Amino acid sequence: MKKATILILFFFLIGNSSLVMAETIHHDDKMKIKPPTPEMIIKAVTPAVTEAVKKEHGDKATWTPDRITKLSINNDHTVQPKKTWYEIKLKIHVQSPDKNEKYADMVILKIDFQKPNLEDAKVTPLEYIHDVKE
């Protein structure tokens, strides 16, 4: 009887201690991205947009931002390390030096984050659309 009681207590104590432990989330492993303001986004994409405008309208064309018409945040959790990027549609006004007219164009850009800082992001123009009416 004494052995049975000891065995029951032993199994009771061992049964309560978990051999499987859940993995805890390390907050350092998470990519923390602060939501940027439109001004921060425009500042980050300015060199890429300037190159796209020069390619489409010539070296002396100038542009001014109008507004961000669409901003989407994309996450890919299927790869390690996890990837996060923005895709934006930026409406711009372009003025060619040989013409006095301003054109409303749209540039679609991908902002790829290697680090959580917007300044360290890689900006790639995906598409350039001429004479938008939006």
Report residue 78 CA to chain centroid gap.
16
Measure the CA angle with vertex 58, ends 123 and 46; round to 5°. 25
State the residue for tokens 């923390």: 32
Is 112 inside any structural domain?
yes
SS3 82: coil
41 and 73 Cβ atoms separated by less than 8 Å: no
Q: What's the predicted TM-score (pTM) here?
A: 0.68
Is 58 inside any structural domain?
yes
pLDDT in tens, 71-90: 998 888 888 887 888 899 99
Number of domains in the chain: 1
pLDDT in tens, 81-118: 878 888 999 999 998 877 777 889 999 999 887 666 66
Cα dist from 37 to 21, 25, 127, whole Å: 41, 29, 23
**CATH (domain of 38):** 3.10.450
